Structure 1
């Protein structure tokens, strides 16, 4: 892979990553690999803020609409697939763009990921059902009691991370931390890490605008169409759980919309907390200067 390069474009939701990725890929006449844990599912498009038709037509995209919601996809699967996608692109181009907001997926691609056992379906369903009934507080207490080591260092405000840790403990009787080796795979290609950031007022405004547009574009109908899969990890996330609450008659649509805005802001903050830990990422306010700097490095 000598001479092959990956340009990573990271950042929180609604910051403008997709548009920048298309610009960079067009300049290098190459493709974009999505590093988003939900945009791979064909059945959910509005709530995942997939690239639009024009963006998908502008440059080739990988890991968009590649799977059915009936399938389970995780960071380990993504690592293998993304490396295959990159090798395919590199047959005709020395550069590939990796763009997304799922920090664990980007980390898996750049450094490799530990092989943590998958929990049996019945255990996963039970954990999700209890979380739906009893909320984040229950999840936190379960982890605190069963896996205090993970509780001390994990993302205890992130239900996805907590459910995964609880699934592993319930399936194996061991902490998820025991499966983490901390070893880093040195890739035989160059990785150029960039990130896009916005001042908080602008990011919050973008999030509010995006959420309201999602509702206008038919988010409720999209969620209604996948109700039978509501236990799937991809639907235990911002934009879907609150619409399920609306469909269940627990809250109004207006309340659901406002809660999605609030939870998306919180999610964006968690994304930035994750990405800030990676000191190799060079940050660009509003993306200004990113393409010019990358051109110089490539």
Structure 2
């Protein structure tokens, strides 16, 4: 009997959490999160993590299970999530996964690309260059060394840019040349379900969500984390802009406008990433849940 992972994807603020809970309740199953910032227990408001009421409706995994002070790589997540899925598939034929972090979603579905070890001094040097000259300098280097990677990775994410650069420099080969090699086959089938809307609607929902976050105390949450702003987990939209405000670089109104702008840019990158999978079943965000379930059922052979 086949096992199925229903992967709920789409841009931020589109309604993925709500849909995943409805699907999990219908199929009497559990949810694993593939949102790389909802892992951290100190980050509640700014990551739009499920509320306690939502968490109480369905069992969730990988929500607030780590601290920002812990290193938690995508490789570690792959290991933990596959182990978790193996256990869940002993109890359920279907499990729901939800998340807007494209790399983390793909890692569970397809497996992680493996790279040679490189001298850690390279990363240290690149981090120093980031601090001194900003991300633009690193982006230019990557464009020269590996244009394919430059055009495909989250180019505004310093962690991703540095990772690609250290492989290019450390191996003398393009980062992209190590992608999509043989990976560990999965013992489940994946049905990807995407939510979409007109761009203007997505942007309106993002703006409204940011306003709600501010009303719910995002500034106080960021204040409580100010001493940790150097950590990678907090190099995140919604936090880094308010750190600028707390450092007296920006006034609050401008910082909030930057959160909205950067979140809109993030949503655009999410859509570009997720649309690479041509097998995804896409639905308008207002589509009736019964119709979505019927289309999923058509893909299932249980």
- TM-score (normalised: structure 1): 0.89
Matched, 1:23 2:22: yes
- The residue number in structure 2 matching 1:70 is 69
Between 1:258-267 and 1:172-181, the stretch displaced more is 172-181
User: Partners in 1 of 2:188 and 2:208 — Cα distance?
Assistant: 38
Bigger shift: 147-156 or 271-280? 147-156
- How big is the shift at 1:143? 2.2
Please give the secondary structure, in 2, of the residue aligned with 1:87: helix
Q: Tell me the number of residue pairs that the alignment of Structure 1 and Structure 2 aligns.
A: 297
Structure-2 residue corresponding to 1:4: 3
Helix, strand or coil at the partner of 1:72: coil
Match for residue 292 of structure 2?
A: 290
1:147-201 residue CA offsets vs partner (Å, 9 max, x unmatched): 5563365443444421322344566665433443533543221211110111112
Q: Structure 2 vs 1, CA of residues 72 and 172 (structure 1 numbering), >3 Å: closer, same or farther?
A: farther
Instruction: Give, in angstroms, the shift of residue 129 of structure 1.
Output: 5.6
Aligned to 2:198: 199
Deviation at 1:287, TM superposition (A): 5.3
Contact 2:113 2:183 in 1 (8 A): no
Q: CA deviation at 1:255?
A: 0.4
Residue ranges of structure 1 left out of the alignment (5+ in a row): none
- Equivalent residue, structure 1, for 2:266: 267
Deviations 1:14-38 (A, max 9, x none): 0000000000001111111001111
Query: RMSD over aligned Cα, in angstroms?
Result: 2.4
Using the TM superposition, give the Cα deviation of residue 229 of structure 1 relative to its aligned residue in structure 2, in angstroms. Answer: 2.8
Shift of 1:211: 0.7
Equivalences for 1:30-109 in 2 at 5 Å?
A: 30-109=29-108
Query: What TM-score do you get using the length of structure 2 for normalisation?
Result: 0.88
Q: Residue 125 of structure 1 contacts residue 231 of structure 1 at CA under 8 Å; is this kept in 2?
A: no
